[in-house]
Amino acid sequence: MSVEFKKYVNIRFYGNLNDFLPAGQKQKDQRVGFWGTPTVKDLVEALGVPHVEVFLILVDGLPVKFSFRPAQGSLVSCYPKFSSITISDIALRPDFEIPPRFVLDVHLGRLAAYLRFCGIDTLYDKSYTDNNILEIAQADGRIILTRDKGILRNGKARYGYYLRNTKPQLQLSEVVDYFNLTNFFDPFSRCSLCNGEVVQVEKSKVENQVPQTTYQVYNEFFKCTRCGQIYWEGPHFNRITAMLNRYPR
C-alpha cells in the first residue's frame, strides 16, 4: 500500500547539491510529500542533502531561514556556496572565517596530512567522537570535512563539506577548489603529525636525532615546535612538492 501524503512541495537543487541525488533525479524538481508542518531544513535533508552545503533557499522566490515551514504546493529552490558573488544579506549563514580552518572526521587521516603539508590549519585525531568534532567545530569556528552525512545533518553543524571522493589526493583537490585554498597555501609550515608550527633549526642541533646518513647528505633541517618531529628535504619532501605543484597559484 502506498502512502498518500496530503501535502507536497517541489524542491529544486542547483549546482553541486545535485551530487546528493540519485542518477535520473538530478537537475529536476523533486516532489516531496509530507504530513504536518515540517521545516524546510527537514524537507531538504529528507532528500539526503546536508544543510551545511546549502547557502541560500528561496521559497516561491523569497529567501527564507532553515526554520521556515513551507506551505502546501510551494516551490523550494536550494543553492550551494557561490564562488563569485556575495549574497551575505540573504545567505543562511555568514561566510566562514578566513583563512579557513578545518576539523576532520576520524577516517580522513591522509587528507589531514595533505592539508597540513599545504600549511592549512587542520585538526584531526583518531580518537575524536562525532560529538567531539561537532563541539570543536562550534567552539573554534572550524569547518567539518567528512564522508559521514550524519554529522553534517546535526543541528550543531554550521560549516561543513561532504567529500564526494574516497581517494585522499582527489579529496584534497575537492577541498582546495571548494574553499579556494591555494590563496592560503604555506607549504611545509605545519607538522603533518600534529598540526604544530614547523621552523628551521641549526643542523648541529639535530645530529643525534636523525640517521647518520641523513645528517651527512642534507644541510637544512626543520623541527615541529609542538611535537619535536624533525623534517628535511628528502624524497618524501619532493613527492609532496610535486603534488602541491599541481595547484597553480
C-alpha cell at 83: 564562488
Pair 102, 136: CB distance under 8 Å: no
Total residues contacting Zn ion by CB under 5 A comes to 8
Binding mask 128-167 for Zn ion (x = CB under 5 A): ----------------------------------------
- The residues pairing with 58 across neighbouring beta strands, listed in sequence order, are 63, 77
Cβ 134 to Zn ion, closest distance in Å? 25
- Nearer Cβ to Zn ion, position 81 or 190? 190
Q: Label residue 227 exposed, middle or buried (CB < 10 Å: 0-12, 13-18, 19+).
A: exposed
Note if the bond before 99 is cis, omega within 30 degrees. Answer: yes
CB of 191 to Zn ion, least distance (A): 3
**C-alpha–C-alpha distance, residues 149 and 146, integer Å:** 7
* Cβ proximity to Zn ion, 98 vs 227, nearer residue: 227
Q: Between 44 and 224, name the residue whose CB sits nearer to Zn ion.
A: 224
Residues 6+ apart with CB under 8 A from 119: 184, 185, 186, 187, 188, 189, 190
Smaller CB separation from Zn ion, 75 or 193: 193
Determine the distance from the C-alpha atom of residue 108 to the mean position of all C-alpha atoms in its chain, rounded to a whole number.
11
Q: Which residues in 182-241 contact Zn ion (CB under 5 A)?
A: 191, 193-194, 196, 224, 226-227, 229
Shortest spacing between CB 161 and Zn ion, in angstroms: 25
Near Zn ion in 21-80, by CB under 5 A: none
Nearest approach, Cβ of residue 160 and Zn ion (Å): 26
User: Where on the chain is the footprint of Zn ion (CB under 5 A)?
Assistant: 191, 193-194, 196, 224, 226-227, 229
